[in-house]
């Protein structure tokens, strides 16, 4: 298990355990897409419902996700 600490760590297919700030946001999922929007790395985890997190917000504590662990 590796904790995400910066951009560039995740790739499509990585298995994740996400610990959310709210219990309802905790989940195990797979990275569907890694994109760059205006210089921000976004990790897409569900395309149908547009679920994603922005890596730099995760690191700074401003994301809905409290911690993301790579569990490949």
* Look-up of token digits 């993301």: 68
Share of the chain residues as helix, strand and coil, in percent rounded to the nearest 5: 10, 45, 40
What pLDDT was estimated at residue 15? 98
Q: What residue segments make up the domains of the chain, in order of their start?
A: 2-70
What are the tens digits of pLDDT across the range 5-63? 999 999 999 999 999 999 999 999 999 999 999 999 999 999 999 999 999 999 999 99
Please answer whether residues 45 and 33 qualify as being in contact, where contact means their C-beta atoms are separated by less than 8 angstroms. no
What pLDDT was estimated at residue 71? 96
| Three-class DSSP category at 15 | strand
pTM score, two decimals? 0.92
What pLDDT was estimated at residue 63? 97
DSSP state of 11: -
């Amino acid at each position: 298990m590796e904790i995400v600490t910066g951009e560039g760590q995740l790739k499509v297919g990585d298995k994740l355990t996400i610990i959310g700030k709210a219990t309802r946001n905790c989940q195990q999922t797979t990275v569907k897409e890694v994109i760059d929007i205006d210089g921000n790395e976004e990790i897409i985890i569900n395309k149908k419902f547009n679920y994603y997190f922005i890596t730099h917000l995760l690191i700074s504590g401003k994301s809905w996700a409290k911690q993301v662990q790579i569990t490949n």
